[in-house]
Structure 1
Amino acid sequence: MAARNLKNATIALLVPLPSIVFFLFFIHAHSDAAGGNSVFSWCYNHPFLLANVLFFFNVNVLFWIIGLIQSNNWMIDLYWTVIPVMLVHYYASHPMTVKDGLRSVVVIGLTWVWSVRLTHNYFRREKWQWGEREDWRFNEMRRQYGKQWWWVSFFAVYFSQQIFLIGICLPMYAIHMSNKPWDRWDFLATVACIIGIVIAYYADTQLHDFVQKNERLKELGAPTVPNLDKGLWRYSRHPNYFGEQLWWWSLAGFAWNLEQGWMFIGTFINTLCLAYVTVLVEKRMLKQQHRAEAYGRYQKSTSVWIPWFRSAIKDSKAKTS
């Protein structure tokens, strides 16, 4: 166990090096590349396309090969929390960048806070193990596609993540391609980003404590609590999802303020995807016999995402049915 954990940690720390080394070499050589016809000249003139090329080869291809070797696609979950940080620094340091210094520093700082929160939650959930398991949705698709999974996984697990991650991080590109001075809309977007991160943190912490409590009850042979409906979870069935979406939509608010409102498209697609995930999660909960009845009542009385007061009318109907 310890040896596997160390091996996976080493792989995870080394795997982004090809992109990092290439970009640092490009930065060092960019002064000679701006007007030439070399590969570096293309990199200089196409920062967004370069980000996609690096993602394709370093994440899609390399992560996919490692996943095939290990029969486990765990790494993409971990790097979901890291790639936005890498992208925001990439855009901030690219030679073509034009930016307002305050806006850039604030967004970089916010992205780091978001990443630290989500990375901490990932390792806490995985009991501080590297690559202990892959996402349950990938497990289900592995069973569904059987022998075809080896090539389906490239598109379902990795190529799709390029669309989502590059798309959802589009505002970071806009922020570093405009020197419009900081204004009150940037301040409001910042406050909303912080609120989203805080909500997601407390929601995930409450969920973690609930899971830990049930594990202790199970070890003692005592009945477990079928459903979490306390704290933020009293007002929303998925407050962690709400906090996460508030963060991304608020980040997109920076792009809107820079007259790049079309960049909401990445956030919108991500929201649609998370809505589908919400349906899958709730179906999965209802399939578990020990919690199906309690969760059914919870669905009838509690808002899906946006925190709101519980419905007393629906509660009373659930009790009399």
Structure 2
Amino acid sequence: MLIAAGIIFTYFLIFFIVATIIKNNSIVDIGWGLGYVVTVWILYAIYQPQSWLVLVLNIMVSLWGLRLFYYILKRNVFQEEDFRYKNWRKAWGKYVIPRAFVQVFMLQGFFMYVIGSSAFYANVNDVTWNPLSIIGMGVFLLGYLYEVVGDAQLKAHIKHHKGTLMTTGLWKYTRHPNYFGESVLWFGIFMTAWLSGVPWFFVIGPLTITLILYFISTPLLEERMQKKDGWQAYVATTNKFFPGMRD
């Protein structure tokens, strides 16, 4: 696992150097999903695990990571620094470089290490196949499809009704189906690994991403959404994170 930490550190160090040169710390968002993919496949090449389950785990991580990488790259490439990072740059003043290194790049590296720990451990220790792992694969597929469908529905809505709230499809049951789907798919990755021998305490990975999405990502996004017409009515009738029917 020290090798995994070293890979992640080097990966984010490269992004930090580039970001410092171009004065745009928001490129760290582009590298977030790709970092998991890079890490699992470098570990796979180094340790050469024999179990095909590890290969399946890495493919699962890659499906999520590459899709996220493409989505954010397409949205952010050649754009100005995101307003969040601009605000931090202004607030940090002459200490922007060391604080960005620690609070942006290394912090994301730490979270990547924790969230992806079950997949990293599987690559290092070559876990063996267990038929029950299919359950985890099913959970991953459910979460992945929930995220993909939610994003597709939102994209179609924006194309035809830009500036209005999305309240149909999966968005009728949760205000953040993409976030919920991401949480579920990471539990699926953990379950696939755990049911094949990865220690139970690596559940810290999916729990961490769920807490980040629920307590950080969701409030930040909803703060910006409050200005939209119909927002309060939408909040009153639609669950925040976990899907469900409400009166």
Equivalent of 1:305 in 221, 225, 241: 241
CA-to-aligned-CA distance 1:239-288 (integer Å, 9 cap, x gap): 000111111111111332214111122332222222222112112222x3
Change over 3 Å in CA distance of 1:115–1:269 after alignment to 2: closer
1:41-89 CA-to-partner distances (Å, cap 9, x unmatched) read xxxxxxx2122223223423x3222212211123321221211111111
1:168-247 equivalences under 5 Å are 168-215=115-162, 224-225=163-164, 227-247=165-185
Q: Distance in 2 between matches of 1:118 and 1:207?
A: 15
TM-score normalised according to structure 1 size = 0.69
What amino acid does structure 2 have at the position aligned with 1:89? W
Aligned match of 2:232: 296
Number of residues paired by the alignment? 245
Label 1:65 to 1:202 Cα distance change in 2 as closer, same or farther (>3 A): same
Give the gaps of 5 or more residues in structure 1: 1-47, 216-223, 313-321
Aligned to 2:145, what secondary structure does the other structure show? helix
Match of 1:57 in 2: 10
- Secondary structure, aligned partner of 2:129: coil
Q: Which runs of 4+ in 1 moved over 6 A?
A: none
Residue 20 of structure 1 corresponds to which residue in structure 2?
A: none
Deviation at 1:178?
4.3
CA contact (8 A) 2:143 2:180 kept: yes
1:137 paired residue number: 84
Q: 154-163 or 48-57, which moves further after superposition? A: 48-57
Answer yes or no: is the 8 Å Cα contact 1:99–1:178 preserved in 2: no
Where do 5+ consecutive residues of structure 2 fail to align?
none
Distance between the aligned counterparts of 2:21 and 2:161, measured in 1?
Answer: 35
Q: 2:15, 2:27 within 8 Å by CA — same for their partners in 1?
A: yes
Instruction: Tell me the distance in 1 between the aligned counterparts of 2:156 and 2:103.
Output: 32
- Post-superposition Cα deviations, 1:101-134, rounded to whole Å, max 9, x if no partner, equal x2112112222222332233224434xxx24244
Q: Is the 8 A contact 1:200 1:240 kept in 2?
A: yes
Asked whether the 8 Å contact 2:49–2:125 carries over to 1, the reply is yes
Aligned to 1:266: 205
Tell me the residue number matched to 2:108.
Answer: 161
Cα distance in 2 for residues equivalent to 1:140 and 1:264: 34
CA distance in 2, matches of 1:158, 1:282: 25
Match of 2:42 among 90, 105, 108: 90
Match of 2:26 in 1: 74
- 1:190: Cα distance to partner? 0.7
Identify which of structures 1 and 2 has the higher relative contact order when contacts are C-alpha pairs closer than 8 Å and 6+ apart. 2
Residue 253 of structure 1: aligned partner: 191
Looking at structure 2, the residues matched to 75 and 252 of structure 1 have their Cα atoms a distance apart, in angstroms, of 28
Q: Is 2:217 the counterpart of 1:277?
A: yes
After superposition, give the CA deviation of every residue in 1:164-215 in whole Å (9 maximum; x if it has no partner): 1111111112322445542232101111111111111111122222333345
The letter of the residue matching 2:169 is: G
Hey, what's the Cα distance between the residues in 2 that align with 1:171 and 1:254? 9
Match for residue 54 of structure 2? 104
One-letter code aligned to 2:204: I
For 1:141, the aligned partner's letter is: W
Matched residues, percent identical?
25
The more displaced of 262-271 and 227-236 is: 262-271
Cα RMSD, aligned residues only: 2.2
Which structure has the bigger radius of gyration?
A: 1
